């Protein structure tokens, strides 16, 4: 029997099938990436939350240092606390004395510490110990207009995982990073 | 023409191999997608709960010890009594004074701009009417000094005693007060300070049989409500001023502050007949050879940095106002300058939690993979601003 006009009874060639499957798997692959993105955005949200909380924690530590006047009007300054530990140690550090100018840009012993994924303190020093997930740096600078009695405190927390993927950042915003700025002025005790 | 030849065996094998590969890939993806859809919203929810819990506790803790704005008693509350306590306080099921519960904290402060003044009558029982002085802490045109029915107020004096009352009724310049609790700490003479107050207890509410774990808030009176669910651990540590309190000026002067912290002692020959301390002494100052010396130890280790306050030192006395007072507190609590909080939250669904251990406080039935969302723990510090004015 002759074939009906307009009806092609030949099947697909292997090549056609392979191409079709190729297109289909490419679509699947893109779909799979979507789930990865969902997971990743949650992880970034988590990093940002932790970075903010960890920055606040250091700020609170620095606010606990002695920076006041005594009853006779003399200056009282914490010069001994070691803030690079959690909890801070009452001796072994430089307290609220000014930090080196590079304290926020590089890991400066005494003005840096490292924390793990859960925000637990894992160490201090120039290089992050194993298990570190966040680097926390801070600076203490005299306020230019009132250098004797006011200090500016800055805390910067960087997520090491976030910094590794920093390429795809929105302009100027470091992924998983948090920065806090505060000031303290002496008051009468 | 029609070609009647079928597929060759090679073609068939190849085609089915590709087909199977594709089906298996789809299945893997579907299972992963299902896990992701289940786990990620819960993970986001957990983070949100952690954030809310941290913010709620931080907000109130930051205010701890805020006192009166103006007048002779202006300044932080820790010049009178301990505004941060490591146990539940209030009218309903309060903890034994002087106990220590690492999973609970109570915070007392006078809200910013709240009315405060002094009393003109003594207050001797759990209920009573007192007239109030319309002074500097009152809104100018208000004959009630801003106090309203239903408001919570704290009454305190120089001895370290303090009690929280509800304003039951108001009439011109007179407040009818009712104690929140059962026993008045002590009778207050005329001239005691009275101020609107905020009392907040945060604690871990756990009920393992039902699996309910919550961060809860009690307002010291009638409201005892959960703040966030699935908080599986909560811990508070206290850091304090290492130096003992000192006197700042002569006790005879009319305006304070007289001490760096803690209630001021009576003058050397004067005895407060209501307490058990000898003449000239109170819970933070003793009298040695006619001069006041602090009763609290010097904890400084060669510096002025804050030191961790050992829980044992917060429940061993000396007691303020003295050991026999119902609302007593350990004088070392007056040292508190910083609180470290540890908080841990978990995902709600046990299908997303693995076996109990480091990652999970409470085990679940997850076998790993996409459906595996470990607990999140965070430690944060709060340095209450008003307790650190002199630091």
Task: Name every chain B residue with its beta carbon within 8 A of the beta carbon of A14.
Answer: 11, 14-15
A90·B260 Cβ contact <8 A: no
pLDDT tops 80 at residue A189: no
pLDDT tops 90 at residue A22: no
Which pLDDT band holds residue B273 (cuts at 50, 70, 90)?
confident
- The count of other CB atoms within 10 Å of the CB of residue A144 is 8
Give residue A148's domain range.
49-188
Average pLDDT over residues A113-140: 92
Residues of chain B with pLDDT > 70: what percent?
A: 99
pLDDT tops 60 at residue A167: no
A60·B382 Cβ contact <8 A: yes
CA distance B199 to chain A (A): 23
The CA–CA distances, whole Å, from B391 to A63, B215, B259, B323, B334 equal 8, 31, 14, 30, 14
The CA–CA distances, whole Å, from A38 to A35, A44, A54, B40, B373 equal 5, 10, 24, 7, 14
* SS3 assignment, position B118: strand
* pLDDT tens digits, one per residue of B21-62: 888 888 888 888 888 888 888 999 999 999 999 999 999 999
Facing B54 at nearest CB: one of A53, A76, A79: A53
Q: How many CB pairs under 8 A join A and B?
A: 138
Question: Residue B328 carries which DSSP code?
Answer: -
Facing B383 at nearest CB: one of A25, A60, A66: A60
Q: Which residues are B212's β-sheet partners?
A: B207
Selection from A139, A182, A117 nearest residue B62 by Cα: A182
What is residue A7's predicted lDDT score, i.e. its pLDDT? 59
A24·B378 Cβ contact <8 A: no
Whole-number Å distance between alpha carbons of B172 and B224: 33
pLDDT tops 80 at residue B355: yes
* pLDDT tens digits, one per residue of B154-193: 999 988 999 999 999 998 889 999 999 888 998 999 999 9
pLDDT tops 80 at residue B1: no
B390·A81 Cβ contact <8 A: no
What is residue A122's predicted lDDT score, i.e. its pLDDT? 93
pLDDT tops 70 at residue B2: no
What is residue A174's predicted lDDT score, i.e. its pLDDT? 60
Establish whether the linkage from the previous residue to B257 is cis, with ω within 30° of 0: yes
A87·B248 Cβ contact <8 A: no
Task: Name every chain B residue with its beta carbon within 8 A of the beta carbon of A28.
Answer: 25-26, 29
Which pLDDT band holds residue A168 (cuts at 50, 70, 90)?
very low
Which pLDDT band holds residue A33 (cuts at 50, 70, 90)?
confident
The alpha carbons of chain A give a radius of gyration, in whole angstroms, of 28
In this complex, is the C-beta atom of A14 within 8 Å of any C-beta atom belonging to chain B?
yes
Yes or no: say if A107 and A127 are a contact pair by the CB < 8 Å rule: yes
Whole-number Å distance between alpha carbons of B278 and B271: 6
Average pLDDT over residues A43-65: 90
* pLDDT tens digits, one per residue of B276-321: 899 889 999 999 988 999 999 999 877 778 899 999 999 998 999 9
* SS3 assignment, position A152: strand
B15·A57 Cβ contact <8 A: no
Facing A118 at nearest CB: one of B2, B14, B377: B377
A90·B302 Cβ contact <8 A: yes
Among chain B residues, CA nearest to A65: B305
Q: Which residues are B176's β-sheet partners?
A: B129, B169
pLDDT tops 60 at residue A134: yes
pLDDT tops 70 at residue B369: yes
CA distance B234 to chain A (A): 15
Whole-number Å distance between alpha carbons of B379 and B357: 19
In this complex, is the C-beta atom of B304 within 8 Å of any C-beta atom belonging to chain A?
yes
In this complex, is the C-beta atom of B15 within 8 Å of any C-beta atom belonging to chain A?
yes
What is residue B235's predicted lDDT score, i.e. its pLDDT? 96
ipTM: 0.79
Mutate to test the interface with B, among A1, A53, A77, A187 (most CBs of B within 10 A): A53
Average pLDDT, chain B: 90
Q: Which helix (H) or strand (E) holds B47?
A: helix B9-63
Average pLDDT over residues B134-153: 89
Q: Which residues, at least 6 apart from B192, have a Cβ–Cβ distance to it below 8 Å? A: B118, B119, B123, B155, B156, B157
Residues of chain B with pLDDT > 90: what percent?
A: 58
A45·B47 Cβ contact <8 A: yes
Whole-number Å distance between alpha carbons of B295 and B245: 9
- Is the pTM above the cut of 0.90? no
Number of structural domains chain A divides into: 1
Among chain B residues, CA nearest to A64: B383
One DSSP character per residue, B218-261 reads E-SSS-EEEEEE-EEEEEEEEEE-SSPP-B-S-TT-SS---BSS
Query: Is A99 part of any domain?
Result: yes
Q: Helix B9-63 to helix A14-63 angle, to the nearest 10 degrees? A: 20
Query: Is B96 part of any domain?
Result: yes
Yes or no: say if A96 and A77 are a contact pair by the CB < 8 Å rule: yes
Query: Is B312 part of any domain?
Result: no
Establish whether the linkage from the previous residue to B69 is cis, with ω within 30° of 0: no
Yes or no: say if A137 and A174 are a contact pair by the CB < 8 Å rule: no
Q: Which helix (H) or strand (E) holds B116?
A: strand B116-118
CA distance A139 to chain B (A): 18
Which residues 26-55 of chain A have a CB within 8 Å of chain B? Answer: 28, 31-32, 35, 38-39, 42, 45-46, 49-50, 53
Task: Name every chain B residue with its beta carbon within 8 A of the beta carbon of A53.
Answer: 54, 378, 380
Number of structural domains chain B divides into: 1
Tokens standing for residue A181: 């700025």
Whole-number Å distance between alpha carbons of A164 and B191: 64
Q: Checking DSSP bridges between strand B212-218 and strand B104-109, what pairing results, if any?
A: unpaired
In this complex, is the C-beta atom of A173 within 8 Å of any C-beta atom belonging to chain B?
no
Task: Name every chain A residue with its beta carbon within 8 A of the beta carbon of B63.
Answer: none
The CA–CA distances, whole Å, from B377 to A100, A154, A158, B266 equal 33, 25, 18, 47
The CA–CA distances, whole Å, from B31 to A43, B28, B157 equal 21, 5, 67
Q: Among A135-139, B67-71, B339-343, where is mean pLDDT lowest?
A: B67-71
Query: Is A105 part of any domain?
Result: yes
What is residue A1's predicted lDDT score, i.e. its pLDDT? 46
Average pLDDT, chain A: 84
Residue B53 sits at φ, ψ, to 5 deg, of -65, -45
A38·B36 Cβ contact <8 A: yes
B303·A25 Cβ contact <8 A: no
Q: Which residues, at least 6 apart from B265, have a Cβ–Cβ distance to it below 8 Å? A: B251, B280, B281, B282, B284, B285, B287, B292
Which pLDDT band holds residue A6 (cuts at 50, 70, 90)?
low
What is residue B327's predicted lDDT score, i.e. its pLDDT? 87
Give residue B203's domain range.
77-236
């Amino acid at each position: 029997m002759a074939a009906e006009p307009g009806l092609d009874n030949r099947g697909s060639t292997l090549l056609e099938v392979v191409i079709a499957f190729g297109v289909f798997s490419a679509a699947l692959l893109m779909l799979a990436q979507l789930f990865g993105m969902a997971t990743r955005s949650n992880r970034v949200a988590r990093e940002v939350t932790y970075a903010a909380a960890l920055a606040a924690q250091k700020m609170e530590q620095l606010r606990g240092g002695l920076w006041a006047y005594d009853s006779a009007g003399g200056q009282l300054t914490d010069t001994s606390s070691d803030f690079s530990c959690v909890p801070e140690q009452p001796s072994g550090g430089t307290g609220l004395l000014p930090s080196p100018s590079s304290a926020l840009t590089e890991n400066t012993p005494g003005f840096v510490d490292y924390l793990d994924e859960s925000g637990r303190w894992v160490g201090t020093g120039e290089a992050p110990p194993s298990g570190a997930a966040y680097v926390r740096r801070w600076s203490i600078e005299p306020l230019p207009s009132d250098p004797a009695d006011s200090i500016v405190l800055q805390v910067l927390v960087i997520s090491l995982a976030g910094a590794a993927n920093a390429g795809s950042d929105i302009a100027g915003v470091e992924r998983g990073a948090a920065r806090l700025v505060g000031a303290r002025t002496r008051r009468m005790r | 023409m029609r070609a009647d030849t079928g597929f060759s065996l090679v073609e068939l094998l190849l085609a089915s191999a590709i087909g199977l590969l594709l089906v298996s890939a789809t299945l893997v993806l579907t299972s992963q997608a299902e896990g992701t859809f289940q786990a990620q919203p819960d993970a986001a929810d957990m983070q949100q709960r952690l954030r809310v819990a941290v913010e709620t506790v931080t907000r109130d803790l930051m205010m701890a010890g805020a006192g009166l704005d103006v007048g002779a008693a202006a300044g932080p509350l820790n010049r009178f009594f301990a505004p941060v306590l490591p146990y539940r306080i209030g009218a309903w099921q309060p903890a034994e004074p002087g106990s220590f519960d690492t999973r609970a904290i109570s915070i007392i402060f006078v809200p910013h701009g709240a009315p405060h003044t002094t009393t003109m009558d003594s207050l001797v029982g759990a209920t009573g009417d007192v007239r109030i002085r319309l002074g500097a802490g009152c809104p100018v045109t208000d004959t009630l000094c801003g106090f309203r029915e239903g408001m919570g107020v704290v009454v305190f004096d120089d001895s370290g005693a303090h009690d929280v009352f509800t304003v039951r009724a108001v009439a011109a310049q007179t407040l009818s007060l009712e104690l929140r609790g059962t026993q008045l700490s002590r009778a207050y003479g005329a001239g005691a300070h009275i101020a609107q107050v905020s009392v907040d207890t945060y604690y871990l509410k756990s009920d393992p049989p039902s699996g309910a774990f919550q961060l809860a808030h009690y307002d010291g009176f009638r409201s005892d409500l959960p703040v966030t669910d699935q908080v599986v651990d909560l811990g508070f540590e206290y850091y304090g001023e290492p130096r003992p309190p000192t006197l700042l000026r002569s006790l005879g002067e009319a305006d304070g502050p007289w001490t760096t912290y803690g209630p001021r002692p009576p003058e050397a020959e004067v005895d407060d007949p209501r307490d058990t301390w000898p003449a000239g002494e109170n819970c933070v100052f003793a009298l040695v050879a006619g001069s006041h010396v602090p009763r609290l130890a010097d904890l400084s280790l060669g510096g002025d940095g804050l030191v961790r306050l050992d829980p044992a030192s917060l429940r061993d006395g000396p007691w303020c106002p003295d050991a026999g007072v119902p609302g007593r507190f350990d004088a070392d609590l007056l040292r508190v300058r910083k609180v470290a909080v540890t908080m841990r939250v978990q995902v709600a669904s046990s299908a997303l939690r693995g076996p109990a251990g480091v990652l999970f406080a409470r085990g679940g039935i997850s076998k790993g993979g996409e459906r595996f969302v470990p607990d999140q723990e965070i430690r944060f510090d709060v340095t209450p601003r008003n307790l650190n004015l002199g630091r």
